[in-house]
Structure 1
Amino acid sequence: MVNSYTLLANLRAGRCSNTVEVRLLRFWEARNINKGGELMSIEMLLIDEADTLVQGCVSAVHQRKFRERLAEGSVYILSRFDVTRSKPKFKLSDGPVSILFYEGTDFEKLAATARIIPTEHFRFRTHEQILELANTSRQLPVM
């Protein structure tokens, strides 16, 4: 039997009972510099076989459950998560939605996959687009 996965582009806002297969491209800690470097969340970039990139977020409250399982470049099965509209500030992908992990989220690392999921993603911008984004605090460059 072939597993059926939803593509990231098909996600809609709300509690999601679908399952996605994604590669974790990058992750990092978001810290509040105004509160002595207090951990706010773990942010990540996830990509699927259709080359759709979305931002993922694990709040500081839930980071203990997921932190040790995060490995850049690894492929995961992700289910039972929340889907929200992308954050207007510090937007890291062109996707309209973001994935939020919560206590009930299932996040399982795969040893192997039959799907071809990219290991990198590039977002090209014209010089004019970069100038428009300069100093707007709306998007962070993804490197």
Structure 2
Amino acid sequence: MEFVLLKELTLAQQHCKIRTRISRMWESTTPLLKNNILSLDCLLIDEEGYTMQATVRKFDADHFRTLLSEGDVYIFENFNVVPSRNTYKVVDRKYMVQISKWTHGVKYTCKGKIVGIDTTYGWWYKACYDCKGAVKDYDDNFWCARCGKNNQAPIPWYKLNSIVEDETGSTEFTIFGKVAQDLIHVPAQQLAIASNSDRFVLPPVVKNIIGQTYIFQILPDKRRASTNLKSFRVAKIFPTDLKIKGKNKEFENNLQEIEEEIVENTRAVQEIDDIVEEISPTQLLQST
């Protein structure tokens, strides 16, 4: 599926994919209840420099506050296109993007360095020959949770629990199968059956990626969604000189100018909170 530009979004075009940078993020609150937010809002900018506001309802704000960051590029799927608000908006657009917990297809793009690989549970696992899910021994055969009983011998499949860091901190990125193979350029099967191979000791060719910086496209790890541990699954890895397709040069040249232009509007929205006497209860209801 190709990416849709922000200016092409309409109420009828709900099932699509967009790739944007988050320029600004803020919380919308009411003047009298500043600790009770209405929504978590952000300003999106696409590759053509077109801007559009996006909003996260207060019930989902805590979840996305830890996942979204200013300046990073994201790919969004399964979002809603809704009419813009009459108030609390920083750009004059007919529509806005609504992000919710159902936006489960969200992918995040970031740049980071692999500083280590945790081999506590090994650097590969026994995978189902068909679906590459983990298998368990079942009598003389194997059992895959997805495929069921399987008499086909499992294969070694990469699972690199990598520690990745940037200037803001570090977290765990899990790199599976083909994505890891494309990075290392050697199949896990070949390394796993080599002489003196140890599942819990990294082969030298795998160690070579430690210390290297890449652009990662990642998704939240649903296996740890109920814990406080921040972990992500890597969907794709790109070289650090990757350029966003489209009018990238023009986008990069004009991005700073665009952001400077809208920052005053963002501040104006935030300053509304301080003008208590000029906002009626009716207006407050309209803003929700």
* Length-normalised TM-score, structure 1: 0.76
Kindly state the Cα deviation for residue 39 of structure 1 after the two structures are TM-superposed: 1.6
Name the structure 2 match of 1:82: 80
Taking the aligned partners of 1:9 and 1:36, their CA distance within structure 2 comes to 33
Contact 1:15 1:80 in 2 (8 A): no
Name the structure 2 match of 1:41: 39
Task: Output one character per residue of 1:6-38: Cα deviation in whole Å (capped at 9) or x when no partner.
Answer: 000110125722000000000011122323521
Mapped pair 1:21 → 2:19: yes
Taking the aligned partners of 1:55 and 1:35, their CA distance within structure 2 comes to 23
Name the structure 2 match of 1:135: none
Q: Which amino acid aligns with 1:109?
A: Y
Superposed structure 1 runs of 4+ greater than 4 Å apart:
none
The two structures, once aligned, show a CA RMSD in angstroms of: 2.3
Unpaired runs of 5+ residues, structure 2, are: 111-214, 216-241, 268-288
Kindly state the Cα deviation for residue 86 of structure 1 after the two structures are TM-superposed: 1.5
Aligned length: 126
Which structure is larger by alpha-carbon Rg, 1 or 2?
2
1:7 pairs, out of 5, 8, 11, with: 5
2:64 pairs, out of 57, 63, 66, with: 66
Taking the aligned partners of 1:58 and 1:78, their CA distance within structure 2 comes to 13
SS at match of 2:66: helix
Greater relative CO, 1 or 2 (CA 8 Å, sep 6+): 1
Give the structure with the larger helix fraction.
2
Give % identity.
23
Unpaired runs of 5+ residues, structure 1, are: 125-139
* Length-normalised TM-score, structure 2: 0.40
